[in-house]
Structure 1
Amino acid sequence: MDSKALALRCRELADDKKAENLVILDLRKLPGVTDYMVIGSGTSEPHLRAVVEEVELKLKRDEGLCPLAVDGTWHSGWVVLDYVDVMVHVMKPDVREHYDLEGLWNDAPRVRVTARKAAVKKVPAKKATPRATKKKAA
């Protein structure tokens, strides 16, 4: 999986757990340590945990990818998953606003993501049941 596909997959998994304000920054043409940065917000410690675990566990299960490092804690309000070419930052909104990674990397173009179509469940049609007939009184 190339780095852009990995960044898109990380964003998709974070979105599955309702991470907010998801952004992918393309850092390939800027001096730095990674190709892409995925940034998203979680509204609470349990939400941060859910988003981070979704990304980490699904990438391990589906792609055989484990992060090189996981830094931060739920309590700090900022957790980073380091996949070398892709860094995933999940933060509480106040922490995100304070550190302003998007502003720090404002020279980096944002990767446009098309909206996913909601999965449509196919439900088999119900079979018509015959109406009950009344028995004639004897």
Structure 2
Amino acid sequence: MAKKKTDNISAEIKARRIAQVADEAKATDIVILDVRGLSNVADFFVIFTGTSQTHLRAIGKRLEEHLEPEGICAERIDGFRATNWIVFDFGSVIAHAMLEEARQFYDLERLWGDAPRLSWQ
């Protein structure tokens, strides 16, 4: 994925678009957490579940293909080769693509339980 800045697009719009594209790629249990004021890393976390490592990678490719033309590009990606959790750093938005077992184990929604959830549909 390209490493371009996306500062001209609001973090909230980025988060919603990431969620929408993940949904189009058949990701499930999509949640957007508003972590402004709670995290120094990002303003929003987008968390979603894939069915397999192959599915997680396919979601990542779809994010790239559909969001890059809109100027929403991941600056960094970790775990893309073989993992149960891929992290996409979109600057002000961090997207977490996880297999179900990793999602249950790390339970980011509980960890960031004070963060309001943002509707994306």
Q: TM-score over 0.5 for the alignment?
A: yes
Asked which structure has the greater RCO (Cα within 8 Å, sep 6+), the reply is 2
Q: Percent identity?
A: 42
1:47 maps onto 2:58 in alignment? no
Compute the RMSD of aligned alpha carbons. Answer: 1.2
Per-residue CA distance 1:31-77 (angstroms, 9 max, x = gap): 3210000000000112111111111221112x133211000135211
Which of 109, 116, 120 lines up with 1:113 in the alignment? 120
Where 1:73 maps in the other structure, the secondary structure is coil
User: TM-score normalized by structure 1?
Assistant: 0.77
After the TM superposition, which residues 47-86 of structure 1 pair with which residues of structure 2 at under 5 Å, given as runs? 47-61=55-69, 63-86=70-93
CA–CA separation in structure 1 for the residues paired with 2:110 and 2:61? 27
Structure 2 residues without counterparts, runs of 5 or longer: 1-8
Quick check: 73-82 or 41-50, which moved more? 73-82
Which of the pair has more CA radius of gyration? 1
Contact 1:48–1:74, Cα closer than 8 Å, also in 2: no
Larger strand fraction of residues: 2
Where 2:48 maps in the other structure, the secondary structure is strand
Which of 24, 39, 43 lines up with 1:35 in the alignment? 43
Corresponding residue pairs, total: 113
1:25 maps onto 2:33 in alignment? yes
The runs of at least 4 consecutive aligned structure 1 residues that moved more than 4 Å come to: none
